[in-house]
A and B are shown apart, each in its own frame.
Chain A
């Protein structure tokens, strides 16, 4: 996605001018590797791999690209997809949010509980507030107290999971909603045969894509990852932006957890263990640099779908599902190696 459309180009800098002005611009990196790196970062590479996988699958198994199959894969991955939005933004700043899996579980419990007490609207609000608060703690410690994101969110990973166990009496109390309630409908409902969670995920991707690519907030996010000191010296609101992003990440994880609980009509304290790592994998496969400064939500969407399709592939091969992680891991390593190679070539 080019953000600077070639329309509206003025007639370019005057080529006449004095001796000083007429000096040609000297690009340091070769155009080829620059294009390759750009494609990789914008998720084009992930989409290409996804398309290839779907194509191969369709040739091998007639049922592979049937609507039902696609629908199930997309629905099943919409939750992790929502989590990966926040993870992308946090990683672009050079940070990480390990707490999303636990916050996901918290979102489910809070959503179901409040829905039973006070109805669906309160449930959604309470989930966003409760989980956003966890994000606020992460963000304040990282942004203002300048603690390492890895440590802070590792602490909340444990802390929030513990909190969820507390709330559910270590799983003794099950929180469930009537399957005909409006809240359950959030997870189970369909519009034009597409599940609500999928529609919500798509809407969130569109909104946050625009936020990242087209707002000062998004540009600040990219600038922080590209050079935090520079961003501070430019007078950008670095701390506030970081705090906001951890709040967004936690709130999105909570909403995703709430939606899945609605679909399952109950909240489980053990759900989403390891989701943080899956989300990170999807983000990286989508081309976002783990070191920050560059990345896109389109890429992340491709990364999520790619990982989901790998799972579907393995199901079709009738391999043991434990192979999922092996193949996903291999993919992740490949992507990281390719990123590395592209960056080396650029640095020459």
Chain B
């Protein structure tokens, strides 16, 4: 691909000093980016960095609280997605942007259907044009069958075709490759290059570093709602990019933090063993072991397969192949019940969505999972529940007025401990923690980490998923680093430093490795 100089090209879409708040959250503060004609502009950042909010502002789904948008130099406001589309800004969302029960042809032309002389929809022409459009972009799909009968990758490509068929001057792609296979990625890149050469500006959101360096000209990095870097892609080394995204200074991250747990007992056969977990487009041959009393960290960028691995342990992630063994015994995949029975507990990433019952008391929240085990003939003794709840509230130092306090009135850290207590009631042998300290304040983070140390010291096998490199380095006896669903590095014992971890996450190919490996 010929190198295009984009620095002098015309700005097509600009955000100037854009801020946006939601109740309780400042999602974007004073963000300015400029997208130029014929450039592929990477927009990167970790979860919660503000990428989605920025995209939604650029496409008219949200309106900014302050700051302005400029389209081809003119100040604009997009009242809704329709207005943005009319201005030539089209978007490929990660999901939700097509109607699954309708055919590909209809999806491609919804809102701008070709008409007959009687002003009725001309289906024959729609079909013809849909086929021609897909052919033109080398996308192969049956345009007549409902979209949900096609593969996910094909659906995504049809979404791309819809976006480019609108004759847009800006195409925003939000993780367009998340459900594509490598061949389809090549087709997509072909389309992107073609759009670029036609002078279309492309905003490309992805967590896959290889893709960013292959296709993007410019990169803007968001962190905690602020723009922390913008500049040519080629001038920002991988490690620097990852460090910028994660907000770690490389220099200060060089020395190794002391292991938090002190003397942990690491002995005997593994309590948890993952053997070659594989799921199409998600996980590739992920294997790891966690022993009694050991904390194994699972690192990597968003979308690297961390949460999928965690869900696989719980049996909630469908697998194409591979096995999960608890104390040497394989557990039936696809059944969280069987995994819980075998002694697995998982603290999910989003405690609000997955598990906490905010309007119930601490007592009810803790006891709910243990009720079936404690009941006799369907009845549960209140006294036994009270004992159990008191025991865990004391053990995890849950600060509350009493077991009757509503969980919604607790701080984030204490809510997290309540969730932890719920699973500990089941006396698990394996504990999977997915981002246990996200969204809680510093003091509470420290306490949750201390609790993790204590639990490991008591003999639990802990799998810790975290985006915070410091947390991983501090807590883990070993860190398994994932990238694109595969294990790319295992950091053990004395090797563990934040610097190494950031290097591993960035997956800088060492000289002897083939850099073109897929």
Contacts and interface: CB of A to CB of B under 8 A. Distances in A.
B82 interface: yes
B101 A10 contact: no
A29 B82 CA distance: 33
A219 interface: yes
A15 B150 CA distance: 18
A13 B131 contact: yes
A12 interface: yes
Interface stretch (B120-128, B279-287, B452-460, B498-506): B120-128
Contacts of B258: none
Contacts of A62: none
Interface in B135-188: 135, 138, 140-142, 144-146, 148-151, 154, 183-184, 186-187
Contact of A19 (B86, B121, B127, B183): B183
Contacts of A29: 149
Given A226-B100, A230-B99, A293-B101, A10 B131 contact: yes
Nearest to B124: A8
11 contacts: A20-B187, A21-B138, A27-B142, A27-B145, A219-B113, A222-B99, A227-B99, A233-B81, A234-B111, A235-B81, A235-B111
Interface stretch (B3-11, B89-97, B374-382, B421-429): B89-97
A22 interface: yes
Given A17-B138, A226-B101, A12 B82 contact: no
Interface in A228-262: 229-237
A18 B127 contact: no
B437 interface: no
Contacts of A14: 135
A215 B121 contact: yes
Contact of B142 (A7, A10, A25, A225): A25
Interface in A265-295: 293-294
A15 to B, nearest CB: 9
B198 to A, nearest CB: 20
A18 B127 CA distance: 23
Given A19-B183, A216-B111, A27 B96 contact: no
B105 interface: yes
Interface in A302-348: 346
B98 interface: yes
A223 interface: yes
A236 B154 CA distance: 23
Nearest to B166: A235
B247 to A, nearest CB: 31
Interface of A: 3-5, 7-10, 12-14, 17-29, 34, 210, 214-216, 218-220, 222-223, 225-227, 229-237, 293-294, 346
A293 B146 CA distance: 11
Contacts of B234: none
Given A27-B142, A220-B110, A227-B98, A4 B134 contact: no
A232 B81 contact: yes
Given A226-B101, A236-B111, 8 more contacts: A20-B187, A21-B140, A222-B99, A226-B102, A227-B99, A232-B81, A234-B111, A237-B82
Contacts of A226: 99-102
Nearest to B86: A235
Interface of B: 59, 61, 80-82, 84-86, 91, 93, 96-103, 105-106, 110-111, 113, 119-121, 123-128, 131-132, 134-135, 138, 140-142, 144-146, 148-151, 154, 183-184, 186-187
A236 B97 CA distance: 12
Contacts of B106: 219, 223
B127 A235 contact: no
Q: Which 3 A-B pairs have the closest CB atoms?
A: A8-B124, A235-B82, A226-B99
B61 A234 contact: no
Contact of B144 (A4, A222, A237): A4
Given A20-B186, A25-B141, A226-B99, A13 B154 contact: no
B146 to A, nearest CB: 8
B151 A13 contact: no
Contact of A216 (B84, B99, B113): B113
A13 B61 contact: no
Contacts of B119: 215
A12 B113 CA distance: 20
Contacts of A22: 140
Contacts of B125: 8
A28 B127 contact: no
A234 to B, nearest CB: 6
